[in-house]
Chain A
């Protein structure tokens, strides 16, 4: 009976569906396709009790249920407190036929056999409420190219959102809804500089379209560098976690054991499009810098040096008899960039190193403003953390075996660097 009624339904209502065709597309990173709203999870409390890892007795009674030990109770209360701040984001993109693919015309008897001129692609991500004005933070790749952004809150309320600002370089975007439902509050922000490997990491999001999913693990690594794929620049100080992060989790918060946001779940490393226990989150301290600018101006300006290069490794230093064993080797100086104007020098010749071409003979940066540069990422980290556009930095470089100080007035990072 159930199956028959389903088929009857299918036939009858297929007419009403013409406008919206769900197709699974996987543009990049963690966007999930073809999902449907899921049952609202558990009841969530209205107030937001401040959760502290309270020194609790061994047995706690919650809603008549005896729970063991503090850890379990802690996670339950974090979910109750934070889940209302997490949203499901559904984006629709108009795609012209030919740009993606065409449905084969193999079911001529059905009314939808004739493909429409353009159809809609759907993607699903997560996000979290930033402030009482209705700003919601998510990943740039979740809302990239969206024609329509729909936000669904934990209680099932849904509303359209507008994109306020985007920053492809950190993969962060801010969207806005006119009004937050009652009981929905901004998240508490943590401090990603204080995060330590081994500490608990909790993700709440929308994996495979399953809204309100909590997954728990630990911080597996810190200081990872992530290249989002939407940009030529990398994100420094990315947090690695083994909490299950899957397509659809993108843009959702990674929390510490106080329920404070320490990162935005953004990417995974896996041979399949599913968690293999290696997930990455953009650190909240970078997000804290970027988001106010996105709200105010719609974009974020990064200070820019204008070099390409790589880390000096022991193997490279020995092979080419470099004067230092650590540092950032400049391979290319972008023309008219701040580094170019300050006179930094790129590679003078190309050699083969382990079968790969490598430009050597350029400056080796060993410090910036007195801070040691041991690998190329250190430059990126320093610039993103400590500097602004227009600021002057002092680079300590090794050129032709001699140490030299070069002052560079930082410029504005361009959207695209021409190859």
Chain B
């Protein structure tokens, strides 16, 4: 019960901070059920084109998308060693989906599909089942890149689209491995909404998600969401449902995030998240009133990490503690109100700006209020340290 309490409270806090969030955690789609590896189904080669008149234009569009994109979609089986008090160490299998990224054999999937896996197998169809190794992973964006050693002629990379100009109502087509048993399953729906923010199991926040009513189920994770041209617009990642099955509310990581993160995962094995190095409070009108702050929104800096970009730039953290109720608030630090001219309402907005718009090594300009005066400070972003 206390966990639920905490969750609800966090949700309501986030409401207060003005952050757009769907309360309750979304379900990640990894199938952790033990299943027998399914025999690789060979996608039957479609012979003659269907004569017009039998199939209408809409149907033909979907058929074309499947023909184009299905060969790029792979089936991922993982083996995770679990420990149990009675049985000791035992292997558990998981299943997910992924897609071929390039001719070198890079496969894109969700991080949660391969998280903790001892061994990974990728099925490319046509009886090609090969072991895969993890090239790089970015847990905050729930993305991972695998590599398989397969001759280039057996690899059909996907065509990447763009997620910046999608529209609600547009067709959304998923190909994946629902329930870990039905590989290259096609499900079709529309884009139901855009720019959703979800908190996934484990507390990870994911932004800019595409919402779709195409049936997304456990095992679909890591598979592509396609537009009506068969171009990847997202990576199917999560659902909201009280059961562990599709309720018509599925979410995909936008392909623009994939385009930003995957090249770095291939090059460095990790995504270098830009980092400023502060801890702060999101200011709300009530909070501002209690503390007598000059602004009703922004970030009150509580702590600046030593040697961080913020410290080097001279940003100041709290100078004293204040007791409000029975809690301690760290006050007296700088108030950050804008970055590169973009007004900031909350810590979340700062995180989002850094993640979406900046790179490591980039210089950002922060607008601060210090002792009632507005000043501008430049900071050079560094890579977020791993704890």
Stretch at the interface among A15-23, A293-301, A324-332, A364-372: A15-23
Contact for A11 among B22, B24, B243, B327, CB less than 8 A: B327
A214 contacts B193, C-beta separation under 8 Å: yes
Using a CB–CB cutoff of 8 Å, the interface residues on chain B facing chain A are 1-2, 5-6, 8-17, 20-24, 57-58, 61, 165-171, 189-197, 203, 205, 211, 213, 228-229, 240-243, 247-249, 275, 277-282, 284, 286-287, 302, 324-327, 329, 347, 351, 384
A36 contacts B23, C-beta separation under 8 Å: yes
Cβ of B213: which chain A residues have Cβ within 8 Å of it? 214-216, 243-244
Sample of 7 more A-B contacts, CB < 8 Å, known A75-B170, A215-B192, A274-B247: A1-B384, A22-B12, A22-B23, A37-B20, A68-B61, A272-B241, A272-B242
A394 at the interface (CB under 8 A from B): no
Q: Show 29 A/B contacts (Cβ-Cβ < 8 Å), sorted by A.
A: A2-B351, A5-B281, A8-B281, A8-B302, A9-B17, A10-B10, A13-B17, A13-B287, A15-B325, A16-B287, A17-B9, A34-B11, A36-B14, A36-B21, A40-B20, A41-B193, A58-B57, A65-B166, A65-B167, A104-B1, A208-B240, A209-B23, A212-B193, A214-B169, A244-B213, A272-B242, A274-B247, A275-B249, A276-B247
Within 8 A of B (CB), among A290-342: none
Q: A207-B249, A210-B211 are in contact. Are A75 and B190 (CB under 8 A)?
A: yes
Task: State the CA gap A16–B15 with chains docked (Å).
Answer: 12
A77 at the interface (CB under 8 A from B): yes
Task: State the CA gap A211–B241 with chains docked (Å).
Answer: 16
A118 at the interface (CB under 8 A from B): no
A262 at the interface (CB under 8 A from B): no
Cβ of A22: which chain B residues have Cβ within 8 Å of it? 8, 11-12, 23
Using a CB–CB cutoff of 8 Å, the interface residues on chain A facing chain B are 1-6, 8-17, 20-24, 34-42, 58, 62-69, 71-72, 74-80, 83, 103-104, 106-107, 111-112, 207-216, 243-246, 272-277
Shortest distance between the CB of B239 and any CB in chain A (Å): 10
B15 contacts A36, C-beta separation under 8 Å: yes
Task: State the CA gap A74–B58 with chains docked (Å).
Answer: 12
Task: State the CA gap A36–B8 with chains docked (Å).
Answer: 10
- Which label, helix, strand, loop or mixed, suits the secondary structure of the B interface? mixed
A42 contacts B249, C-beta separation under 8 Å: no
Cβ of A4: which chain B residues have Cβ within 8 Å of it? 279
Shortest distance between the CB of A80 and any CB in chain B (Å): 8
Cβ of A64: which chain B residues have Cβ within 8 Å of it? 165
A12 contacts B327, C-beta separation under 8 Å: yes
